[in-house]
A and B are shown apart, each in its own frame.
Chain A
Amino acid sequence: MALIETDHLEKRYEVGDSIVHALDRVSLQIHQGEFVAVMGPSGSGKSTFMNVIGCLDVPTAGTYRLDGIDVGSMSRDALAEIRNEKIGFVFQGFNLLARTTALENVEVPLLYNKDGSKNRRERALDALRTLGLEDRRHHHPNQLSGGQQQRVAIARALVNNAPLVLADEPTGNLDTKTSIEIMELFVRLNEEKNITIVLVTHEPDISAYSKRIIHFLDGKLVSDSVNKR
């Protein structure tokens, strides 16, 4: 069974009199352990695709199954629960909470989890340790470098043992050297922990780290190919 399975996924917006197809009948499967790079020019629909598979947005038509669950018709709160348990997000702008330590930032998903209160601190600390940031646990985001902030964000994405990590231009705000470090980290997580990674980027250098590259154009899935590293 595929971790992500979409069937004729559509997302339409009405802009004035015309209808914009942000997603146009997208059907694809992503299996556990894959490392997929999503590419395409801006406005191609790749962000909408990420929002839908990230359960932040619901499709207008078509079906989307995440881990076998049809999430198309779920309520806001049910979607929140799915996001909490199955998906880790990594953003371009890191999106850490200011005035909050690295450790507490990593704890945030556990605050909203049914079993999150058990060993919350230890679990967050474990996640930070995996990312090599144990000694930075009491630092606030503004005391950390960009690469460190992004690693805290990745620790936050991992803390709930989510099978899927969605990364939206995770290296967009980082210099080349740090970008390479972060991408190597993703590769390691993918290979060692079998975490499924779906990553949006428009840089070929970055997509080169993935195992599979899909291209969007005008809302349509135009190419889907295996990438040899």
Chain B
Amino acid sequence: MINFLSTAKISLRALRANKMRSALTMLGIIIGVAAVITMLAVGRGASNKISEQIATVGSNLIIVLPGSTTASGIRLGSGAFQNLTRADAEAIRQECSAVATTAPILNGSAQIIYGNANWPSVVFGTDENMLEVRDWTLSAGRNFYDQEIRSAAKVCLLGQTVVDNLFGNDDPLHKTVRIKKVPFVVIGVLAPKGQSMMGQDQDDIVYAPVSAAQRNLFGRSFPGTVRSIMVKAKSTEDLDRAEQQIKELLRQRHRIGAGQEDDFTVRNLTQMMQMAEQASRVMALLLAAIAGVSLLVGGIGIMNIMLVSVTERTREIGIRMAVGAKTWDIRLQFIIEAMILSLIGGLIGVLLGILFAELLSFFAGWTILISTYSILLSFGFSGLVGIFFGFYPAYKASLMNPIDALRHE
């Protein structure tokens, strides 16, 4: 077998002899690889951002809302019915096997006051399971005790935005804030989550025991009812099953006969976001496919130039054959040459692609994610392009008749 290093050296020399031609040939691969890297970086950046946002909302979430109702002939939208109760939330948690946990929600807007500062926020009456449902942690303090939920204790957890606006740099723990003029003791601060997918500030929030919210903040015509129930399924695969189980259980609990419509709505939050993620992933794939096509075109350019090179060097091939080069010696020489062309092109392309992606993120502010995987993929692919498109010219060269090749002018 022919010595690889000396072959590579010969190939490099041949490429250097035609600098302009080699550079132009590489350009196709360079553009292709740079496009793959940039497109994948942008695409992955986007889908990663979406995944992150999904994670901030909480994973595997299902929301149960009351159904719509009609009051005095006027149709009220979904959520108007006061028929979901804390007991429903409890029952879903206990009886649906695909459900990890649930939290009831009774929310409303309120002005929060501390000392001479005040801030409007959204208060969520809920229970101690809320943090688990939303995959939320505390940056300070503690979660609600079960006891506080049952006894309607006037305690609360504050989001970072609320803390910033009311307390500035002071420690909010154990201080008393007034929500709708009712004093609540701050027992914990939620870790910052940032913006949601819709651009809402998720940290502008207050959690209070659902019982206290009901008694002191947002009274309901039917005590014990809540505005919605948040459900966390055990896993992504369990989402559909959980949804089914919740529907069956609630129909049973609400005594809805066969053929009657549900008096509640089940929404799968994660699914919607996964669809968005899926869309961005499809987009990334599409971009990568376009980039792949340009890589293919680059490969055809390599094949073209290699065919020219084989014809030009017919005499050289004849000499090598005369002194003992075998079929595969000749083939390898040209395949290695094509590979060197495409790998150098690939390397330059990788560097350019990273540069483009960084420029996009710097000037256009796009989220990018350059993965080793995409670098290896496009670099390896450019090598394969070299082998694939180098093979035919190399094959042609190896079939030459040494006598004719030696006579070639």
Check if A112 sits within 8 Å of B17, measured CB to CB: no
Interface segment, one of B95-103, B119-127, B281-289, B313-321? B313-321
Check if B323 sits within 8 Å of A83, measured CB to CB: yes
Option from A77, A99, A113, A117 in Cβ contact (under 8 Å) with B13 = A99
Quick one: CB contact mask for B295-323 with A, threshold 8 Å, 1 for yes? 00000000000000000000110111111
Which A105-137 residues sit within 8 Å CB-CB of chain B? 107-109, 111-113, 116-117
Option from A100, A112, A160 in Cβ contact (under 8 Å) with B325 = A112
Check if B403 sits within 8 Å of A108, measured CB to CB: no
Quick check: is A95 within 8 A (CB to CB) of the other chain? yes
Chain B residues positioned under 8 Å from A112 (CB to CB): 2, 320, 323-326, 329
Q: Given A99-B17, A100-B13, A111-B6, is A89 in contact with B326 using a C-beta cutoff of 8 Å?
A: no
Chain A residues positioned under 8 Å from B324 (CB to CB): 80-81, 83-85, 109, 112-113, 160
Which A43-97 residues sit within 8 Å CB-CB of chain B? 51, 54, 56-57, 76-77, 80-81, 83-85, 89, 91, 95-97
B36 to chain A, nearest CB (A): 34
Interface size on A, residues (CB 8 A): 29
With the chains together, A51 CA to B321 CA distance in Å?
13
Chain B residues positioned under 8 Å from A91 (CB to CB): 406
Option from A84, A95, A160 in Cβ contact (under 8 Å) with B315 = A95
Q: Given A111-B3, A112-B2, is A51 in contact with B403 using a C-beta cutoff of 8 Å?
A: yes
Quick check: is A151 within 8 A (CB to CB) of the other chain? no
With the chains together, A81 CA to B328 CA distance in Å?
12
Quick check: is B402 within 8 A (CB to CB) of the other chain? yes
A19 to chain B, nearest CB (A): 19
Check if A77 sits within 8 Å of B320, measured CB to CB: no
Interface centre among B2, B3, B14, B323 (most CB of A within 10 A): B323
Quick one: CB contact mask for B9-41 with A, threshold 8 Å, 1 for yes? 010011001000000000000000000000000
With the chains together, A213 CA to B324 CA distance in Å?
28
Quick check: is B278 within 8 A (CB to CB) of the other chain? no
Check if A89 sits within 8 Å of B2, measured CB to CB: no
Check if B402 sits within 8 Å of A108, measured CB to CB: no
Q: Given A51-B403, A56-B402, A83-B324, is A108 in contact with B329 using a C-beta cutoff of 8 Å?
A: no
Option from A56, A85, A98, A156 in Cβ contact (under 8 Å) with B403 = A56
Check if B2 sits within 8 Å of A95, measured CB to CB: no
Check if B319 sits within 8 Å of A108, measured CB to CB: yes
Check if B403 sits within 8 Å of A57, measured CB to CB: yes
CB-nearest residue of chain A to B398 = A76
Check if A108 sits within 8 Å of B323, measured CB to CB: yes
B27 to chain A, nearest CB (A): 23
Chain A residues positioned under 8 Å from B318 (CB to CB): 95
Question: Can you give 5 contacting A-B residue pairs, CB < 8 Å?
Answer: A76-B326, A76-B327, A89-B323, A97-B316, A108-B323
